[in-house]
Structure 1
């Protein structure tokens, strides 16, 4: 029996306009009513995630933010569980400054950015909001768990990946605006495992759903790793189940009723 469903937000639960469909919202409520803990597991920062958690009525559960770096507890205290080695971080920031790159850094209290252009600010506003974002000296941060750098175009990605310091990995959403850098060991499974241990839930009792390679780490510690139809090829290859629905076609609700709740009647209305 599945007791916990770990859910990616962007391009999985949310549609192309970053909205939650009524079908997906209802599926969350039906899962919770059935005793399933629905845990949001996202690259987003705390502010926007808190809004989604509140709108979905998921305040009783802990969630994972910043791709596994932050355990988000809206009724208690957040916990930052992973961040850059200080020396590697400082050298990397100096290199980005030397290339005159626009970038921003995630820390436990929000986002700090440097050399921001319109593209960078648009990215921050869409995925994180500007409520806890500020311009400043990023070298002053004590702990940074993720750095995102604006890419000029798709051809710029290999160069940006090559800038990654030792002990750091990169992710780049297809046709996205940034390349992200995170310490090895920082991934969505990292945060999810902390929550599983706290709830006493094993991998055989977990399902996870996502759309890109960073989500496959969740699949590794789940009984069911579920990829939405719009996933990249690597994610589909890693998944146990590839859905016939995209994020714009209520893929989450389809997965919930088809594989978790096994409710064919409700599935007909999704």
Structure 2
């Protein structure tokens, strides 16, 4: 029996306009009514996640933010569980400055950015909001859990990946605007494991859904690992179920009713 469903937001639960469909919202409510804990596991920062958590009525469980770095507790206190080695982080920031790159850094209380252009600001606005973002000296940050660097084009990605310090891995959404750098050990699975341990839930009782490489870490500790139809090929290969629906076609609700709740009547409605 599935007791926890971990859900990626962007290009998975949300549609192309960053909206939640009524079908997906209802599927969340039906899971909760069935006793399943629905945990948002997202690369987003706290502000936007709190809005989604409130709208979905999921305030009674903890969630995972910033790709596994932050345990988000809307009724208690947040916990930052992973961050860069300070020396490696400082050296990396200096490289980005020398190359005149636009970038932003995630920390416990929000985002700090440097050398911002329109592309960088639009990215922050869409995925993280500007409410908790500010321009500043990123070397002043004591603990940073993720750095995102604006890429010029798709051909720029391999070079940006090569800049990653030792002990740091990168992710890049296909045709997205940034390459993200995160310390080894910072991933959605480790954040999810913290909650699984707290709630006494095993891998055989977990389902997860996502669309890109960073989500596959969740797949490794899930009985059901769903990749939406619009996922990249690597993600599809790591999933044990590739859904026939995209994020714009209520893929999440489809997975819930077909595989978790096994409700054919509601499946017909999505």
Q: Does residue 1:223 correspond to 2:242, yes or no?
A: no
Report the 3-state secondary structure (helix = DSSP H, G, I; strand = E; otherwise coil) of the residue aligned with 1:244. Answer: coil
Q: Specify every segment of 5 or more residues in structure 1 that has no aligned partner in the other structure, as ranges.
A: none
CA distance in 2, matches of 1:154, 1:235: 19
Report the 3-state secondary structure (helix = DSSP H, G, I; strand = E; otherwise coil) of the residue aligned with 2:193. Answer: helix
Residue equivalent to 1:9: 9
CA distance in 2, matches of 1:107, 1:250: 32
Residue equivalent to 1:72: 72
CA distance in 2, matches of 1:3, 1:136: 42
Quote the offset at 1:85 in angstroms. Answer: 0.2
Report the 3-state secondary structure (helix = DSSP H, G, I; strand = E; otherwise coil) of the residue aligned with 2:129. Answer: coil
Residue equivalent to 1:128: 128
> What TM-score does the superposition give when structure 2 sets the normalisation length?
1.00
> What TM-score does the superposition give when structure 1 sets the normalisation length?
1.00
Q: Does residue 1:61 correspond to 2:61, yes or no?
A: yes
Superposed CA deviations along residues 189-229 of structure 1, whole A, max 9, x for unmatched, are 01000000000000000000000111010000011101000
CA distance in 2, matches of 1:194, 1:52: 21
**Following superposition, which runs of at least 4 residues in structure 1 exceed 4 angstroms of deviation?**
none
Q: Does residue 1:140 correspond to 2:140, yes or no?
A: yes
CA distance in 1, matches of 2:142, 2:214: 25
Residue equivalent to 1:37: 37
Q: Specify every segment of 5 or more residues in structure 2 that has no aligned partner in the other structure, as ranges.
A: none
Q: Does residue 1:256 correspond to 2:245, yes or no?
A: no
Quote the offset at 1:62 in angstroms. Answer: 0.4
Quote the offset at 1:185 in angstroms. Answer: 0.8
Residue equivalent to 2:93: 93
5 Å-filtered alignment, 1:229-240, equals: 229-240=229-240
Residue equivalent to 1:203: 203
Residue equivalent to 1:180: 180
Report the 3-state secondary structure (helix = DSSP H, G, I; strand = E; otherwise coil) of the residue aligned with 2:166. Answer: coil
Pairwise CA RMSD: 0.4
CA distance in 2, matches of 1:27, 1:43: 22
